[in-house]
Structure 1
Amino acid sequence: MEKAAFYQQLNEQVAAIIHGESDLIANMANISAILFEALEQVNWAGFYRNVDNELVLGPFQGKVACIRIPLGKGVCGTAASEAQTLRVKDVHAFDGHIACDAASNSEIVIPVIVNNQVVAVLDIDSVAYDRFDETDQKGLEAIVSKLVEQVKG
């Protein structure tokens, strides 16, 4: 299946599963499960929540993870502090990378912004180098937008 069509289908699946549910954590849990099962070469998919200006582990699928990440540190903390999606081809070359799982080689992190505040980040790790491209980014950002719309009601 062509990648853009794959993400359209994935977006529809996410929309269906979170429809009518406004609880952010419940929706993050189901989205993590959907992404972990659907995406190839992914070894971790989940969320870190912004709690008192620190990222705290939220719902996820994968191996045990770092529990707290300071804003501005690592890929997740940098994406949160800059309120920008980060795609990292080689996490080992990322200055200040926090290695929660040594098997991870690339990563994408998308901020979840509600009312102009970064409330969380979606973090997806891959064992493959350069796993995430612009199509992945657009598809995953659309899923995060769906999550934000549902939470805002």
Structure 2
Amino acid sequence: MNISQLKKSITTLINSNNTVPKKLQLICDFLKYEVEHYNWVGFYFKNGDKNELKLAKFSGEPTEHTIIPFGKGICGQVALSNENFIVPNVNAQDNYISCGFKVKSEIVIPIFVNGENIGQIDIDSHAINPFSKTDEILLEFICKKVSEIL
């Protein structure tokens, strides 16, 4: 993974003249196809005043998990903890919402606007333990860039 090239491409997508929803979709598509171990990429955002997340844009197999209550699953836990969550093996997690038998690991990074956790990027992988510090750095960069356009 060439993180500097990926960051450059993401910056180009963010700075494009597309709408915010289109930019989010382009980021999802780009990451899914450019990073081999990213099999599903999506953005969840706080659903108004409700204590739940709502799926915005994604790339990968459709999911029935379009609404996730705070505290439920990895995404719901990140909504409460405000911290990155890397799950090397989803089968070892008690509070995991299964998105399909192919998913083996997950990484979720929160998005902050004015210090408030307003959403997150969620990545699923079909490999066990594929995520490294490099993935975390890249996704934190993306979340910061996304926060600037929201």
Same fold (TM over 0.5): yes
Matches of 1:150 and 1:71, distance apart in 2 = 24
Question: Which residue is 1:70 aligned to?
Answer: 69
Residue of structure 1 in register with 2:130 after alignment: 131
Larger helix percent = 1
Deviation at 1:93, TM superposition (A): 0.8
The corresponding residue for 1:45 is 41
SS at match of 1:118: strand
Match in the other structure for 2:14? 18
Task: Count matched residues.
Answer: 147
Tell me which stretches of 4 or more aligned residues in structure 1 moved more than 2 Å: 20-27
Partner of 1:7: 3
**Inter-partner Cα distance in structure 2 for 1:17 and 1:131:** 25
Q: Which runs of 5+ in 2 are unaligned?
A: none
CA offset digits 1:32-85 (Å, max 9, x no partner) = 111111111222001111112201111000011111111111111111211111
1:42 is paired with a residue whose SS is coil
Q: Secondary structure at the match of 1:150?
A: coil
The structure showing larger relative contact order (alpha-carbon pairs under 8 Å, at least 6 residues apart) is 1
Pick aligned residue for 2:23 from 2, 19, 27: 27
Distance 2:60 2:6 in 1: 19
Which has the larger displacement, 141-150 or 77-86? Answer: 141-150
Sequence identity of aligned pairs in percent? 35
Report the TM-score when normalising by structure 2.
0.91
- Asked whether the equivalents of residues 42 and 58 of structure 2 are also in contact (C-alpha less than 8 Å), the reply is yes
Structure 1 pair 112–29 and aligned structure 2 pair: CA distance change class (3 A): same
- Counterpart code for 1:132: F
Instruction: State the AA in 1 paired with 2:54.
Output: V
In structure 1, the residue matched to 2:84 is 85
SS in 2 for 1:95: coil
In structure 1, runs of 5+ residues without a counterpart are: none
| Aligned residue identity for 1:118 | N
CA contact under 8 A between 1:19 and 1:150: conserved in structure 2? no
- Residue 108 of structure 1 is matched in structure 2 by 107
* 1:20 CA displacement: 5.4
* Cα distance, 1:87 vs structure 2: 0.6
* RMSD of equivalent CA atoms: 1.5
